[in-house]
Structure 1
Amino acid sequence: MSLSSHVEELKKKHQVLSNQVDEAQRAPGTNNLQIAELKKQKLRLKEEIARLSAEA
């Protein structure tokens, strides 16, 4: 897998997590810990994308 395709895959995963966070925040009774965990995963992906993009 090339670096650019790996970055694109990470961006897709980031978008999926973003959608999940949006849905969770709109859903009544969603656990705030679940939302926080999704946001942490999203941030880790964003940091990895930035790191890989800087290396390229």
Structure 2
Amino acid sequence: MSIQAHLTELERRHENIAREIEEKMAHPATDDLLIADLKRRKLAIKDAIEKLKVEALSVH
């Protein structure tokens, strides 16, 4: 998988998790631990995106 394709996939996953967090937070009965887990996953993906961007810049 190319760096660009991997980056695109990570960005898609990041958007999906952001949307899921918004949906879960709209319901007061949602487990806080679930939301915290989703936020951790979103942050990990964001970190991976930034790392790939740096790698892509260093290759060119």
Give 4+ residue runs of structure 1 displaced > 6 Å after superposition: none
Partner amino acid for 1:43? L
- Cα RMSD of the aligned pairs, angstroms, is 0.5
- Consecutive unaligned residues of structure 1, counting only runs of 5 or more, are none
Report which of the two structures shows the higher radius of gyration computed on alpha carbons. 2
Q: Which TM-score applies when normalising by structure 1?
A: 0.97
Alignment length, in residue pairs?
A: 56
Aligned equivalents of 2:43, 2:2: Cα separation in 1 = 22
Aligned equivalents of 1:28, 1:39: Cα separation in 2 = 17
Q: Which TM-score applies when normalising by structure 2?
A: 0.91
- Consecutive unaligned residues of structure 2, counting only runs of 5 or more, are none
> 2:30 aligns to what?
30
Q: Percent identity?
A: 38
